[in-house]
Structure formats: structure tokens, C-alpha cells
Structure 1
Amino acid sequence: MADQQSYDLVVIGSGPGGYVCAIKAAQLGLKVAVVEKRKTYGGTCLNVGCIPSKALLHASEMFAEAGHSFAELGISVEPKLDLEAMLGHKDKTVKANVDGIAFLFKKNKITGIIGTGRIKAAGEVEVTKEDGATETLPAKAICIATGSAVAGIPGVELTFDSDTIVSSDEAIALEKVPETMVVVGGGVIGLELGSVWSRLGAKVTVVEYLDKVLGPMDGEVSKAFQKLLVKQGIEFRLGAKVTGVEKADKGARVSFEPVKGGEAETLSADVVLVATGRKPYTEGLGLKEAGVKLDDRGRVEIDAHFATNVAGIYAIGDVVKGAMLAHKAEDEGVALAEQLAGQVGHVNYDAIPSVVYTSPEVASVGKTEEELKAAGIAYRVGKFPFMANGRARAMLKTDGFVKFLVDAETDRALGCHILGAGAGDMIAEAALLMEFGGSSEDLARTSHAHPTLSEAMREAAFAAFAKPIHV
């Protein structure tokens, strides 16, 4: 039995942070157990978040291209949507990924336990199984990697269901395409899932509290991106405070009022998707009883080494400070495992990219222009449009641009922002450049294969320290 064993590390939660931490720790020779409350491993990301949404984003993009772009490429088709099959593709993708985590646990001799974990005290995790039975796992170290949960709307009472008022969890499994959809929230989740259902035929309206979409993203990129979404048929109500979401005789209604004052408005839709972000998941973990401190936003407080105020208890991922990104959680998981094994683990939070998997994609790493101006940092800008990229023309993917921000004196890369096809893959080049303290000239003098979309990165880098070649 598991409670007859003592572990070097017990991880609560098997999302990207938890499972990566567990695998890395096991690779480094530690005896590891993982406790997961779902019936399958992978957390929100693999089960109802990153992975299933990307399957739908890709499938819906192919459907849209077949209906709008193929003819220009000399391909004549009349696409017909089979939503059941599309959702089936999503489910198969999820299963392959969660099964993969189970395989990796077995391969690395990690004990996986399905049940709800609670910290009894430093060094002890109590697991409650589905049948009510409990067992205790002694551990030298405990890692809280419980991730986040859907956040609601401040001051608005919500009741989610499976088909009318939905969160992102339900929005990946609608059984039919709604005629109309209101998305509350103009951030990453809302725009990704809104674009899925828009491409499949829904009339989508986004209601956002801020006066711009993708709040923390670079302002120039945000404005250009919104214009492209408007061309795709998505409407926006910006600077709007939602005051109510309720079911109607048919569908639901969203009430909102201008943040800066004005007449209130109500929109009706078949489906309302509430995508206002996520909150740290700490419910039922026994943190208060164990003496683990939370900050004023409900996140577990940690030091620079992921340690809480209670010796032997650590936390990573969405449940702690910082961006709620799967790869940020993974980086923290690796660093913590290395530290527990006596090595030196480190995360460079200035070089963690962020991606919006719409069409076109949006990707960002480092500082925005707004942040540099606020900090009083002198900088230069280098930009290059995909319209001037030969491969982009050949692919009919000419929307968007690459934008580099570099230190005016040293030329060191401070940020990179991409709006365009393949942005999510290309941003890795900028992240690597920043990780090693590189300059725009370093990137510009690095040979890039021709013709590729990545040449736009090189041209933008040329623009930052000299002049681009092709504009």
C-alpha cells in the first residue's frame, strides 16, 4: 500500500507543472508520487484546456480555409461541417495525450494515485479515494501543483450549464453550432474559443471590460489583431462592464454598461461564454490548517525557490504568482525538481513567451512598448510586414507583422511581438535570443532558410539595428 512507503516528493496535481516536476524529479533519482483528483492525468491543460482547444482551433481553421482560401489556390471543394467528427478528433487528441502521461509515469517509476489530496501537515499528504477510503503518503517534500479554476465575473451571480451559459470547459463540447454567441472577456481564452465557433458559423460578439483586447499584449499588436478579427466577422463591445448574465426563454442575456458612463445595453444569444480568466485552485488542500500562507489574490506565497512559509512544502504553476501559462508551470516544475535533487534550478521570467492560437496567431515575449515607456527605457523598434515575405504570399498568409524592441544603446533584445501565421512557433527564436542576452544584430546576422516565414524575424531584426532588405 502507498501509505507504507515514504516518498522523497509527493506532487498534488498532474497538470503541466505537476507531471513535469514529477518526471524530472524521478529522472534525478527521487522517489515520487503524484496525486490527481481527475480520473485521468494532465490537469486542465490536457483534459479541458490547451490541448482540446488547439484541436478545435486547428480543425475549424481548416474548415474556414476550405471554404474561403482553397479556390484561390486552385482547389475546388464545398466543405461540409461534421461537428460530431470534429469533436471526436478533439477527444482522440486528449486521450492520446493523457494516456501518454500515464505511460511516462510508469516509465519513470512514479506512483500515480487517483484521489483528492490534502496536506495534513508538513511531510504528510492524505489522499481520499473515490470510494471514500483514505491513505496517508509520508513525504520529505510536498509540491502543490493544483493549477487554476474558471473565474467568474465580480459581483455577478453565474450558473454554468452544458449548452447555454458556459465556461471554457463546456465551450469545447457544444453539441451544435449556435447561431449567436456572446463571449464575456476579450482575453486569450475568449478570443480563441470565440474564433472557433465564429469559423464554424456562429455570429460572435465579444464584451470586454478594458478598452482593448488581449489586455497585457503590446498595444499596436492588439489594435491590428482586433481589426483582423472584425474582418472575420467578430464584433466587439470594449470598455463594457458586465452587470448580469441570465437565462432567457431562448438562450441567455448579457447586460452591460460603459465603464466610462453611458446607456446600459443588453445582448441576447443562444450561448454565452464567460471567459474572464482563471483563479488559483486551493480549495480543500488543508493549507490553512497546515499554516501555508496565501497572498491577497488567493495564491500560495512562495520565495525565489518555490518554498512556502512551511518547511518542506512548495508550490508552482497557476497556484502561485506570475502568468498562468502551462510552459511557465513546466519550467518551474523542472527548476524545483533540480533544487530538490541538490542541483541549481532557475526560471528566467523575462523570457517566457505567450501565444494566442487564433488565425492569425499572436505571440509575445519580453517587454511591450507601453512597459518600456513607463519604465523610461530608451528603445528602438524594428518591424517587418508578412506582406513582404515571399513564403507568406505563397501561402496566402500575409496578414500581420513582426516587431522587435531593442535597447537603444546596447541593441540587446527587450521584447518581440508577432501577429501572423506561425507566430507561436517563431516566438521561440526571440525567446532564445533573449535567454542568452542577444541583440537584434545577432539575429539579423544569423542565416535563415529561404523562403520561410521566419525570414520576417530576421528582417525585423535588421530593421531594429540597420535597415530591412525587402521593404
Structure 2
Amino acid sequence: TGPNTLQIRRAGGLEDFSFTDAIIATGGRPSDLPSFRFDGLMVISTKEALELERTPPNLAIIGGGVSGLEIGTFYAKLGSRVVVTEIMEQLLPGTDPDAVRIVTRNLQKLGMEIHVKSQARGWREDKGQTIVDIVTPEGLIARRADIVLVTVGRRPNTDELHAEKAGVQFGPRGHIQVDRQLRTSNPHVFAVGDVVGPPFLAHKATKEGLVAAEVIAGHPVELDVHAMPAAIFTDPEIATVGLQESEAAAQGRKIRVGKVPFAAIGRALTTGEYDGFVKLIADADTKILLGATIVGPDASDLISELTLALEMGASVTDIALTVHPHPTLPEAIMETAEAALGQAIHVLNR
């Protein structure tokens, strides 16, 4: 309501408060589509998808991004017939195509029907059944759906804050603009999490919250994150940090790439989970690590070592010279660093 005042709606009515410093952490919410408006029953968001009391026999998912595939994998394993529609050329747009191909193949093994470069046009009732019409490159198809899950992005929960009354400025998409200390245009109002924009990751929001709290406490700190890891909990998992191969190429960088399949790693073979690989991207001259992609068993756990390596400015030589215990999955990281140097033992060097 003002530069240092706010109003909270409670059961008994409105109550006014004053503050010295405040943190806005109202998060975000899923976005829907004009033809698929959320009703909480037939057309649902990720929130309702995690609260269903019964497994839907037929589940249509609009949006083949992270949330759609994670929840789709879950319900496919419970027995749902899952259809995924993605408007872009591949699932998980922006993710390493080599990794996406492995995940796509495994999703299809689960029985999931996948349509890329396709668009869900709308839904209708036909003889007591709900039908979703999908425009694919091959033409119009119709699929039965007991539930339609829309996962096409998120938007910030800022539209009812009226934070502009406190002098807080917003970006073009409604996200709050902040500096490296998470301060808004009002020096006593901070913002963290989904309200400040992507990537929409819980661990990013946590780190931002810690920085904002330390700044308020008077510590000379700022958000100085060189490497922000991300994990996708499909089967197998995908985890990334830093630059991907396509991003490095788009920047015109000269790079060296190491890639080792889990099928070359003893621990993966003994567990029977060896579909996937580790890929490292390094500067061609300095050999400094630029990024990593892992698809395979425990990818979400393995990525932390490479996140630390990026934060510390390590080279693939540093990683290759670090002894990893045997037999373990992290050996794949050491072996991939060796491959980037042309010194791999269990795969052909290129």
C-alpha cells in the first residue's frame, strides 16, 4: 500500500502492517491456454495432477516440457495411456537433443504416445467421451482423454500484489526486476523465486532467499552463481549445468567434447541401468569446463560434482586427474573428462 506498508486480508478483515524490509516470495502458477482453461476437473494443472485420487485411464498432456514429462512418466508407470503434444520440434525444448532422444525412446517403451511439431486444437464431448483434437504434421487426429493436463509454462503471482504502490518495478512479463542483491527498485523491498523470472527452480529460489536475508542482516553479499544446475526427473533422468553443446557453438566458441556412455561403466552394468551418457563441454584451448549434460541413472545426483567444478573454474584435466572410486557411477565423469582430452580408456577416442 506504500513504500513501507502492506495490507493483509484475513478472516476478520483487512489488517495493515509497516515494515523496515520485506521479501516478496509469492511464487508462480501454471499458465493455461484459450482452448484449455483450467477448471480443476477436466482440464487441470500440475497442482491438481499431484492430487488426483484415481489414476486416469486416458491422460492427454499439452506441453512436452519438464513438468509434463515428469508427471506423464509417473502416470504411465501407474497404467495410464498417456498422449503428449508438443508444438516444438522435440520434447524438452532447449535440452541436448542426444539426451532427449534417449528419454523419448524410453517414454515410448512405457507406452506413451508422443506428437512433436503438433498442437492440441481443443476438446469436445462425443458420445459421452471427451475427445482432444490434435493437429500433427500428418494431419488431424483425435484422442480420448479422461483428464487433460496443461503444462505450457508458468507466470508470476504478482498481479494482485499492487507492489507498484511501493515503487516496485516489473518487467514486460510481470516478473519483478531485481539487482544482484535481490533488491527491487524500492531498496527496502526484495524479491526471490519465480516472481523474479526463470529458471523456475526450487534450489534457485532457496539461494536467492538466503542472499536476500543476508543482505537485510547487513552482510556485504550478492547472488554470484556461475553455475545453476537443473534436473529433469524422467526415466532416465537428465541433469545439466553450464553451456550445452549447441549453446557453445552458437556463441562461436571453439570447444572440445567428451562423451561416454554408461554402458562403458562397470557400476551401471551391474545395476542393469546403463541407458544414457555423460557429456562434457570444454574450451578447446584452455580446457576449462564450460558445461555438462548427463542422461542416465542418478543424473540428478551426479551433476553436483560438475556444478562445483564449474564454480571453481576447473578444467577437464583437473577432473580427469581426480581419482574416482571404483566401481561407481561418478567414474563416468572422470572417464568423460579423459575422453575430452583424447585419453579415454573404455571408449574410442575421437
Q: For the superposition of Structure 1 and Structure 2, which TM-score range results when normalised by the shorter chain?
A: over 0.9
User: Secondary structure of 2:287's match?
Assistant: coil
Q: Deviations over 1:338-373 (max 9, x none)?
A: 222222323344411110112211100011111111
For 1:13-412, list aligned pairs within 5 A: 120-129=1-10, 131-153=11-33, 155-162=34-41, 164-246=42-124, 250=128, 252-258=130-136, 263-412=139-288
- Mind listing any 5+ residue stretches in structure 2 that lack a counterpart? none
Please report how far the alpha carbon of residue 198 of structure 1 lies from its aligned counterpart in structure 2 after TM superposition: 0.3
Please report how far the alpha carbon of residue 246 of structure 1 lies from its aligned counterpart in structure 2 after TM superposition: 4.7
Q: Deviations over 1:42-96 (max 9, x none)?
A: xxxxxxxxxxxxxxxxxxxxxxxxxxxxxxxxxxxxxxxxxxxxxxxxxxxxxxx
Q: Deviations over 1:110-153 (max 9, x none)?
A: xxxxxxxxxx1121222222x13333332111111111001112
CA contact (8 A) 1:204 1:233 kept: yes
> Which residue identity lines up with residue 39 of structure 2 in the other structure?
F
CA contact (8 A) 1:335 1:344 kept: no
Q: Distance in 1 between matches of 2:291 and 2:259?
A: 12
Distance 1:344 1:249, change over 3 A: farther
Please report how far the alpha carbon of residue 264 of structure 1 lies from its aligned counterpart in structure 2 after TM superposition: 3.1
> Which residue identity lines up with residue 168 of structure 1 in the other structure?
T
Please report how far the alpha carbon of residue 219 of structure 1 lies from its aligned counterpart in structure 2 after TM superposition: 2.1
TM, length-normalised to structure 2: 0.94
Please report how far the alpha carbon of residue 183 of structure 1 lies from its aligned counterpart in structure 2 after TM superposition: 0.9
Instruction: Give the root-mean-square deviation of aligned CA atoms.
Output: 1.8
CA contact (8 A) 2:38 2:45 kept: no
Q: Deviations over 1:165-216 (max 9, x none)?
A: 2211111122222222111111110001000110011111110011111112
Q: Distance in 2 between matches of 1:204 and 1:448?
A: 40
Q: Distance in 1 between matches of 2:85 and 2:5?
A: 45
- Mind listing any 5+ residue stretches in structure 1 that lack a counterpart? 1-119
CA contact (8 A) 2:60 2:83 kept: yes
User: Secondary structure of 2:19's match?
Assistant: strand
Please report how far the alpha carbon of residue 253 of structure 1 lies from its aligned counterpart in structure 2 after TM superposition: 2.7
CA contact (8 A) 1:150 1:167 kept: yes
TM, length-normalised to structure 1: 0.70
> Which residue identity lines up with residue 135 of structure 1 in the other structure?
E
Aligned residues: 347
CA contact (8 A) 1:219 1:370 kept: no
Please report how far the alpha carbon of residue 262 of structure 1 lies from its aligned counterpart in structure 2 after TM superposition: 6.4
Whose helix proportion is higher, 1 or 2?
Answer: 1
Q: Distance in 1 between matches of 2:346 and 2:246?
A: 28
Distance 1:273 1:251, change over 3 A: farther
Q: Distance in 1 between matches of 2:118 and 2:214?
A: 45
Distance 1:411 1:332, change over 3 A: same
